Amino acid sequence: MFGRRKKSSGLPDETEGGFFADEAPNGSGDGAIEDGATADESAPGGLDPDQGPFDLGELDEERDALAETRLDLGSVLVPLPAGGQLQVEMTQAGAPQAVHVVTQYGRITIAAYAAPKSPGQWREVAADLADSLRNDKSTVSIETGPWGRELLGVTANADLRFIGVDGYRWMVRCVLAGPAGNVNSDSPLVKIARDVLSQTVVDRGTDPHPVRTPLPVVLPAALTAQLAAAQQQQAEQAAQSNAQPNPTPASPAPAGPTEGPRRGSSGSAMQQLGG
């Protein structure tokens, strides 16, 4: 079980009307993703108040209790599906940039971003993603999921599905990547991803961040230790490989007989051959 929202949290209730309204904020348009979109893209039937992603500040449970059933990545606490494996993406400076959950059907990546207090950032981000995909000659379409608008992209290397949820000063984006057909709405990968997203907890924190900035990813101590051990093992293997002397290549065997021409009584071999 996951925690319920506090009734007196003092934050706006995301389930009230208008949270997933179609009006783009500040008059910004997103006609670039209108092909295939329906007139009403709001979440069907409204949202279940017990469905996440949740804001950590709205929950009664303590962080440690939530982390017992979720992977604590600092800005997001994400439940791991059965059989899921972790893949950590690092920056060139060696800092964690993203954590992917790899399943037998494809990959799931959940990340949180700074956002304004009012909703609407996901709609703008979806428009930018659609433009970027189209510029890469990918096919783009729009579907309506449990949280509203979902973006689908068919690329040369993989099929992609982007799910976004606006919160109070944060936005969560869930990216699914899999082989052709594996991100269709009725696929196992999409079902797993929606289950994971519905139980995700976001910790926006109090530090100021520009909008659309990824919120910090902090790896658990156990995962950090595993990565450090793996990196150390790789370094040792590389050092051993470099320390081993290269074997001296064997001299090629002579093409002719190993015994040289004998000297005769009439002179040297060259004299005999050229005589």
CA dihedral 240, 243, 244, 245 (to 10 degrees): 170
pTM of the model: 0.72
Quote the tokens at residue 154.
């068919």
CB 176 within 8 A of CB 161: yes
CA dihedral 110, 20, 168, 196 (to 10 degrees): -30
Q: What is the pLDDT along the chain (275 residues), one digit of tens a residue?
A: 455 554 434 433 333 333 333 333 443 444 444 444 433 444 544 567 778 999 999 999 999 999 999 999 999 999 999 999 999 998 888 888 899 999 999 999 999 999 999 999 999 999 999 999 999 999 999 999 999 999 999 999 999 999 999 999 999 999 999 999 999 999 999 999 999 999 999 999 999 999 999 999 999 888 888 888 887 888 888 888 887 766 655 555 444 443 443 334 333 333 333 33
The CATH architecture to which 25-219 belongs is 3-Layer(aba) Sandwich (3.40)
DSSP state of 59: B
Quote the tokens at residue 147.
């949280």
Name residues whose C-beta falls within 8 Å of residue 221's C-beta, 6 or more positions apart in sequence. none
Domain boundaries, the chain: 25-219
